[in-house]
Amino acid sequence: MGSREEQTTANNKQKQDFCGQAVATRDAYGAALLELGARNDRVVVLDADLSGSTKTIKFAKAFPERFFNMGISEQDMIGTAGGLSLTGKIPFASTFAIFETGRAWEQIRQTICYSNLNVKLVATHGGITVGEDGASHQALEDVALMRVVPNMTVIVPSDGFETKQVIDTIAEYEGPVYVKLGRAKVPAVMPEDYKFQIGKAHTFNIGKDVNIIANGIMLPAALKARDILSQEGIDAGVINMSTVKPLDTTALLEAAKNSKLIVTAEEHSVIGGLGSAVTEFLSENYPMPVKRIGTNDTFGCSGKPDELLKLFGLTAEDIVKTIKTALGS
Amino acid sequence: MTIASQSRDIAFLTEQARNVRIEILKMLTKSGSGHTGGSLSAADVLTALYFYKMLHNPSEPSWPGRDRFVLSKGHAAPLLYTVLALTGYMDKSLLDDLRKLGCPLQGHPSSKLIPGVEVSTGSLGQGLSIANGIALGLRLDKNPARVYCLLGDGETQEGQVWEAAMSAGHFMLDNLCAIVDHNGLQIDGKCSDVMKIEPVAGKWSAFGWHVFEIDGHSMEEITNALDEAEKIKGKPSVIIAKTVKGKGVSFFEGKAEYHGLTPTSEELVKALKELGKNGK
pLDDT computed for residue A9 by the predictor: 82
Kindly provide the ipTM of the predicted complex, given to two decimals. Answer: 0.95
pLDDT computed for residue B280 by the predictor: 44
Cα separations in angstroms, A128 against A156, A206, A300, A313: 15, 29, 6, 11
Topology at the third CATH level for domain B10-274: Rossmann fold (3.40.50)
For B235-247, the pLDDT digits (tens) are 999 999 999 999 9
Domain stops at, among A186, A216, A239? A186
Mark the ranges of chain B whose per-residue pLDDT is less than 50.
279-280
Give domain limits for chain B: 10-274
Q: Flag whether residue B160 sits within 8 Å of chain A, measured between CB atoms.
A: yes
Cα separations in angstroms, B44 against A77, A184, A327, B239: 31, 56, 72, 13
Range of the domain at A42: 4-186
pLDDT computed for residue B279 by the predictor: 43
Spatial contact of B156 and B184, defined as CB atoms under 8 Å apart: no
A306 plus A229 within the same structural domain:
yes
A25 plus A123 within the same structural domain:
yes
Supply φ then ψ for residue A204, to 5 degrees.
Answer: -70, -50
A145 plus A230 within the same structural domain:
no
pLDDT computed for residue A11 by the predictor: 79
Closest residue, chain A, to B114 (C-alpha): A115
Assigned domain for A194 exists: no
A213 plus A120 within the same structural domain:
no
Assigned domain for A239 exists: yes
A116 plus A214 within the same structural domain:
no
A272 plus A298 within the same structural domain:
yes
Assigned domain for A193 exists: no
Q: How many domains does chain A have?
A: 2
Assigned domain for A117 exists: yes
* Spatial distance between the Cα atoms of A141 and A145, rounded to a whole number of angstroms: 6
Q: Are B129 and A85 inside 8 Å of each other by CB?
A: no
Assigned domain for A196 exists: no
Among B residues 66-105, those touching chain A with beta carbons less than 8 Å apart? 68, 70
Mark the ranges of chain A whose per-residue pLDDT is less than 70.
1
pLDDT computed for residue B3 by the predictor: 60
Q: Are B167 and A75 inside 8 Å of each other by CB?
A: no
Kindly list the catalytic residues of A: 74
pLDDT computed for residue B6 by the predictor: 57
Which helix (H) or strand (E) segment is A236 a member of?
A: strand A236-240
Mutation target vs B (from A40, A76, A113; most B CBs, 10 A cutoff): A76
pLDDT computed for residue B278 by the predictor: 53
Annotate chain B with DSSP letters as a single string: --B-SS---HHHHHHHHHHHHHHHHHHHHHHS-S--HHHHHTHHHHHHIIIII--B-TTSTT-TTPPEEEESSGGGHHHHHHHHHHTTSS-GGGGGGTT-TT-S--SS--TTTSTT--S---STT-HHHHHHHHHHHHHHTT----EEEEEETGGGGSHHHHHHHHHHHHTT-TTEEEEEEE-SEETTEEHHHHS----HHHHHHHTT-EEEEEETT-HHHHHHHHHHHTT--SS-EEEEEE--TTTTSTTTTT-GGGGT----HHHHHHHHHHTT-TT-
* Spatial distance between the Cα atoms of B119 and B111, rounded to a whole number of angstroms: 5
A181 plus A207 within the same structural domain:
no
Spatial contact of B108 and B120, defined as CB atoms under 8 Å apart: yes
pLDDT computed for residue B5 by the predictor: 52
Q: What is the CATH number of the domain that holds A45?
A: 3.40.50.970
Q: Flag whether residue A70 sits within 8 Å of chain B, measured between CB atoms.
A: yes
Domain stops at, among A186, A221, A245? A186
Closest residue, chain A, to B138 (C-alpha): A87
Q: What is the CATH number of the domain that holds A277?
A: 3.40.50.920
Q: Are B112 and A115 inside 8 Å of each other by CB?
A: yes
Assigned domain for A39 exists: yes
Domain stops at, among A186, A212, A247? A186
Assigned domain for A192 exists: no
The CA distance from A151 to the nearest CA of chain B, in Å, is: 12
Residue closest to B125 by CA, chosen among B84, B153, B97? B153
Residue closest to B180 by CA, chosen among B55, B42, B77? B42
Q: Are A111 and B126 inside 8 Å of each other by CB?
A: yes
* Spatial distance between the Cα atoms of A199 and A88, rounded to a whole number of angstroms: 25
Rounded to the nearest 5 percent, the helix, strand and coil shares of chain A are 45, 20, 35
Q: Are B133 and A71 inside 8 Å of each other by CB?
A: no
A182 plus A221 within the same structural domain:
no
pTM to 2 decimals? 0.96
Which sign does the torsion angle of CA A286, A289, A294, A299 carry? positive
* Spatial distance between the Cα atoms of A150 and B120, rounded to a whole number of angstroms: 14
A167 plus A212 within the same structural domain:
no
A68 plus A18 within the same structural domain:
yes
pLDDT computed for residue A15 by the predictor: 79
* Spatial distance between the Cα atoms of A91 and B133, rounded to a whole number of angstroms: 10
Spatial contact of A288 and A235, defined as CB atoms under 8 Å apart: no
A49 plus A167 within the same structural domain:
yes
Q: Which residues contact residue B243 at a Cβ distance below 8 angstroms, ignoring those fewer than 6 apart?
A: B41, B42, B44, B45, B181, B182, B183, B216, B217
Contact residues on chain B for A73, CB-CB shorter than 8 A: 160, 163, 166-167
In the 8-state DSSP scheme, what is residue A217? T
Closest residue, chain A, to B109 (C-alpha): A115
Judging by DSSP bridges, how do beta strands B189-190 and A236-240 pair with one another? unpaired
A146 plus A25 within the same structural domain:
yes
